[in-house]
Amino acid sequence: MKKKILAALCCASMVGCLWSVPVLAEEAAEEETAAEETTEEETVTADGDYKIALITMDSVDQHWVSLKEAAEKEAEADKVTLDFMAPDVKDDAKQIECINNAVAGGYDAIMVAANSEDAVSGALQEALDAGIKIVYVDSPANVEAESTFSTDNKAAGKIAGEEMVKALEEKGIKEGSIGIVNINTSTNSTIMREEGFREALEGTDYEILETQYCEGDAAKAQTIAENYITEGVVGIFGANEGASTGTGNAIKASGSDEIVGVGFDKSDTLKGLITDGFLQCTMAQNPDVMGKLGVQACIKALNGEDLGGEVTDTGVTVLNAENVADF
């Protein structure tokens, strides 16, 4: 399997389905623009009237909405059909149902962000056996795919940990406990983020408490974060959009300006929490790049091109108070 770095930035039936290196803040916008220009250079032409199913983890998070919108725009430009078939919540059974619906519906390709790399692999293998092309966006499963477009989540998680340590040290806090709010124990992308975060804190005097899981729900994440705050943590890491939103809201509700919150993903709510000082920063992915390149890969594969299972790192940017207004 080949790996390609696109941008290194420190940067029911259908009803149920509805790496990175640090850069200076002022360079982030320029590098993100460069990444966007890179994706705009290539156009593809479909050799047939292809149907593509886009199945993300849920249909609610702004991350997935941005990915969907970019994919739809690319599909329209390339004159192929793309249908968004994501579950309304992060749920393995619902996502499997969506995959099965895509197979039954005669789709030629499936773009999927696997909620659980193990749970959905059986359904994806059946799709593959039926001749359907598989392309991963954001988070892969344990089935061979034509291509994968995702963040180097472990590297990005390590950057998040480094940002946490830096912010705490700037406050004069050299030790203490830190909480992690993650989605679950099976989503590959967030597992890798946590691994990277923990790696960044190795050799420090900070103690990482047992991870708590919110299933990506912001309200659950806030309750978890509030419990961490009651325990006296000095920092909290949210591993995805919902976990980060809950973390920021809990810090806001606490009235404390000593707790450091670091998040992952980008949304209007998260940007507001950064602007208001309740989150130190968040690791912003590029879902629009994932969506655009995912559609192109589906078309290339359906045209008969061998993509070799290449993995493309779509980059990440550190959003903080200094640069958040630019995004």
**Contact of 137 with 81, CB cutoff 8 Å:** no
Cα dihedral across residues 227, 167, 276, 60: positive or negative: negative
The pLDDT of residue 176 is above 70:
yes
The DSSP secondary structure of 160-222, one letter per residue, reads HHHHHHHHHHHTT--EEEEEEEES-SS-HHHHHHHHHHHHHTTTSEEEEPPPEE-TT-HHHHH
Q: Specify the amino acid at residue 219.
A: A
Tell me, yes or no, whether 248 lies in a domain.
Answer: yes
CB-count exposure of residue 310 (10 Å: 0-12, 13-18, 19+): middle
79, 103, 108, 190, 286 from 76: Cα distances, Å: 5, 22, 16, 31, 20
Instruction: Please check whether residues 146 and 291 belong to one and the same domain.
Output: yes
Note the pLDDT of residue 15.
39
Rounded CA separation 273/249 (Å)? 8
Note the pLDDT of residue 38.
43
Q: Could you read off the pLDDT of 238-277 as tens digits, one per residue?
A: 999 999 999 999 999 999 999 999 999 999 999 999 999 9
Instruction: Please check whether residues 236 and 271 belong to one and the same domain.
Output: yes
Tell me, yes or no, whether 325 lies in a domain.
Answer: no
Which residues, in sequence order, are CB contacts of 152 under 8 Å at separation 6+? Answer: 5, 19, 20, 313, 316
Least confident residue range of 35-39, 211-215, 241-245 = 35-39
The secondary structure element, H or E, covering residue 137 is strand 133-137
Instruction: Please check whether residues 82 and 177 belong to one and the same domain.
Output: no
Q: Could you read off the pLDDT of 51-108 as tens digits, one per residue?
A: 999 999 999 999 999 999 999 999 999 999 999 999 999 999 999 999 999 999 999 9
The pLDDT of residue 193 is above 80:
yes
Residue among 142, 161, 140 at smallest CA distance from 150: 140
Which residues, in sequence order, are CB contacts of 242 under 8 Å at separation 6+? Answer: 61, 183, 214, 216, 217, 218, 220, 221
Instruction: Please check whether residues 65 and 133 belong to one and the same domain.
Output: yes
Note the pLDDT of residue 251.
98
Instruction: Please check whether residues 291 and 263 belong to one and the same domain.
Output: no
Least confident residue range of 40-44, 178-182, 202-206, 268-272 = 40-44
Tell me, yes or no, whether 23 lies in a domain.
Answer: yes
Rounded CA separation 13/20 (Å)? 39
Instruction: Please check whether residues 10 and 91 belong to one and the same domain.
Output: yes
Least confident residue range of 8-12, 93-97, 154-158, 216-220 = 8-12
Angle made by CA atoms 242, 248, 253, in degrees to the nearest 5: 125
Q: Specify the amino acid at residue 32.
A: E
Tell me, yes or no, whether 320 lies in a domain.
Answer: no
Q: Count up the domains in the chain and report the number.
A: 2
The pLDDT of residue 198 is above 60:
yes
Q: What value does the mean pLDDT take over residues 110-132?
A: 96
Confidence at 6, pLDDT banded by 50, 70, 90: low
Q: What CATH number corresponds to the domain at position 113?
A: 3.40.50.2300
**Contact of 316 with 154, CB cutoff 8 Å:** no
Tell me, yes or no, whether 107 lies in a domain.
Answer: yes
Confidence at 30, pLDDT banded by 50, 70, 90: very low
Instruction: Please check whether residues 136 and 164 belong to one and the same domain.
Output: no
Rounded CA separation 64/309 (Å)? 23
Least confident residue range of 16-30, 66-80, 149-163, 289-303 = 16-30
- Residue 211 region, left (φ>0) first, then alpha (ψ -120 to 50), else beta? beta
The pLDDT of residue 29 is above 70:
no
Note the pLDDT of residue 181.
98
Note the pLDDT of residue 64.
96
**What is residue 110's three-state secondary structure?**
strand
Note the pLDDT of residue 42.
75
The pLDDT of residue 201 is above 70:
yes
Instruction: Please check whether residues 119 and 160 belong to one and the same domain.
Output: no
Owning domain of residue 29: 3-151+286-314
Instruction: Please check whether residues 158 and 265 belong to one and the same domain.
Output: yes
Which residues, in sequence order, are CB contacts of 279 under 8 Å at separation 6+? Answer: 244, 247, 248, 251, 261, 262, 263, 270, 273
The pLDDT of residue 32 is above 50:
no
Compute and round to an integer the Cα radius of gyration of the chain: 19
Tell me, yes or no, whether 322 lies in a domain.
Answer: no
The pLDDT of residue 304 is above 90:
yes
Instruction: Please check whether residues 160 and 219 belong to one and the same domain.
Output: yes
* Mean pLDDT score across all residues of the chain: 90
Instruction: Please check whether residues 278 and 303 belong to one and the same domain.
Output: no
Instruction: Please check whether residues 189 and 274 belong to one and the same domain.
Output: yes
Confidence at 8, pLDDT banded by 50, 70, 90: very low
Tell me, yes or no, whether 72 lies in a domain.
Answer: yes
The pLDDT of residue 109 is above 90:
yes
Tell me, yes or no, whether 172 lies in a domain.
Answer: yes
